Structure 1
Amino acid sequence: MTGWAIVTPVKPLGQAKSRLRATLPASVAFLSGPDPLGALEAPDEPGDWHAEVALAMASDTVAAMLAAPRVDRVVVVTDDPVAAAALSALGAVCVPDAPGGGLNPALRHGASVAALLGGSDGRGSRGTAALGADLPALRTADLDAALRAVERLGVRAFVPDAAGTGTTLLAAPGRTPLDPAYGPGSALAHASAGAIDLTAVADGSGVGPSIRRDVDTAADLAAARALGLGPRTAALLAPIGSAFPAGRAAC
């Protein structure tokens, strides 16, 4: 076997992170144009700072996934052309949300694409996982440790979010179906369907905090800041001032 295939959905940027839009005011200091790292393209809607934040978070999350030694391939399911271009440039395989039926159908579609690609080149044959694109503090070591734990268990497993009710990572080793059940109370739904909660395993399975810290609100973003934001998100938020950090150390 080689490594893992990760499937991640990305909403159209103008619709992404509605709760974050409601709790994080647009920065009056935000300057239009390329970000300081030259890594982002401006969204279709000029001046949509929240869309830029959503893209920066997705870019940092996908970059961390791709840098993980245990990950062979990242399949992004999105209908947003700007997100697809930016994430493809990082090395992800981007496919349209052909089902168009919400999060779980998108994940099943992405898993099917990953299986087809893995069948042709063998990459991603260790298993398939779903991971959100809203983990801007994600560390490759935390992702690798979680995937290693799933390999040891040999069964479908998940990582609950920081609140304990949602799911950030769902992983199915080998040919085990991903069978996603995201939505309100997804942690309980995945556990009820037989998936193992990695945080409940006796040795803790090395589940680091960055893999649990998804961002839906400004408070979540502040918590991610405390862990250390990825470079694109940190650079975009830098004009706000001391409320956000300059970045994080290399993983």
Structure 2
Amino acid sequence: MTGWSIVTPVKPLGQAKSRLRATLPAAVAYFSGPDPLGALEAPDETGDWHAEVALAMALDTVAAVLAADRVDRVVVVTDDPVAAAALGALGAVCVPDTPGSGLNAALRHGASVAALLSRTDRRGARGTATLGADLPALRTAELDVALRTVERLGVRSFVPDAAGTGTTLLAAPGRTPLNPAYGPGSALVHASDGAVDLASGGPEIATRRVGPSLRQDVDTAADLAAARALGLGPRTAALLASTPSVFPAGCAAC
């Protein structure tokens, strides 16, 4: 039986994760060891280490999503050629952000691409979901549980981030419109628009709780430390292991 299409946006790496850049120091040592996913060369001396972090997180996130039993396809919307090459090598379908009108327009574009591909090969027709590229601790099993819950409910649903204000997953089963409304306070906006909060624990969701790795996105150094406590994916873990200055001894966020 067919599975889900997942749409993941990736900003140009040099612009990605501005809040993380503000709270995470520039590493003095660049990753130069074995590449766990075999996607990229190490950056040169003029490279952007924060961009490497953003790419590592995206690679770990997309790799986990592609491994999910209930996922047929990942559509990545990005204008970054390095990210497109690396994520495409993992098996994602990468398309440019042709609307160029912000995050929600990019997600709608990705969903349209996913729908067009599904009409061609019938893969990904169970539903369409959006997932951020900043979930480096994501566990495949936790994503599968959430998607199964949406299938059972049969209605548009979402997973709030660890802070409870943002949205990490927005899922629309079948041909239900996705209607993404990302931005400040998106969890409340999605709930107000009728989407079911899968982390609410309400009586209509008699299932296991939403796994923490599905809620732990990374916007700040503290978020990255929380994700590390859950267990990072191989590329992000290797990158941070090679740069101990990121989490110095006594770091409050560690």
**What range describes the TM-score normalised by the shorter chain of this pair?**
over 0.9
- Give yes or no for the alignment of 1:220 onto 2:223: yes
Q: What are structure 2's unaligned runs of at least 5 residues?
A: 248-254
- Give yes or no for the alignment of 1:230 onto 2:229: no
Other structure's SS at 2:135 match = coil
The one of 209, 213, 216 aligned to 1:210: 213
- Give yes or no for the alignment of 1:65 onto 2:68: no
Q: 1:171-224 CA deviation, whole Å, 9 max, x = no partner?
A: 000000100000000000000000000011333543100000000000000000
- Give yes or no for the alignment of 1:198 onto 2:198: yes
Deviation at 1:151, TM superposition (A): 0.4
CA distance in 1 between counterparts of 2:223 and 2:34 reads 23
Aligned to 1:129: 129
Other structure's SS at 2:189 match = helix
Aligned to 1:109: 109
Aligned to 2:185: 185
Q: 1:31-85 CA deviation, whole Å, 9 max, x = no partner?
A: 4x57532332456993210000000000000000000000000000000000000
Aligned to 1:36: 35
Contact 2:199–2:210 at 8 Å: present in 1 too? Answer: yes
State the TM-score, normalizing by the size of structure 2: 0.91
CA distance in 2 between counterparts of 1:44 and 1:99 reads 32
Aligned to 2:16: 16
Q: 1:147-182 CA deviation, whole Å, 9 max, x = no partner?
A: 000001000000000000000000000000100000
Aligned to 1:7: 7
Contact 1:149–1:206 at 8 Å: present in 2 too? Answer: no
Identity %: 81
CA distance in 2 between counterparts of 1:127 and 1:68 reads 14
Contact 1:41–1:82 at 8 Å: present in 2 too? Answer: no
Letter in 2 for 1:235: A
CA distance in 1 between counterparts of 2:106 and 2:44 reads 23
CA distance in 1 between counterparts of 2:164 and 2:178 reads 20
Deviation at 1:27, TM superposition (A): 1.5
Contact 1:146–1:205 at 8 Å: present in 2 too? Answer: no
1:43–1:169 CA distance, 2 compared to 1 (3 A): farther
Aligned to 1:25: 25
Aligned to 1:82: 82
Other structure's SS at 2:242 match = helix
Taking only aligned residues, the RMSD between alpha carbons, in angstroms, comes to 1.8
Contact 1:44–1:82 at 8 Å: present in 2 too? Answer: no
Aligned pairs for 1:91-106 (under 5 A) are 91-106=91-106
State the TM-score, normalizing by the size of structure 1: 0.92
CA distance in 2 between counterparts of 1:45 and 1:239 reads 15
Letter in 1 for 2:148: R
Q: What are structure 1's unaligned runs of at least 5 residues?
A: 245-251
Number of residue-to-residue matches in the alignment = 243
CA distance in 1 between counterparts of 2:2 and 2:78 reads 26
1:113–1:25 CA distance, 2 compared to 1 (3 A): same
Structure 1 segments, 4+ long, off by >6 Å, are none
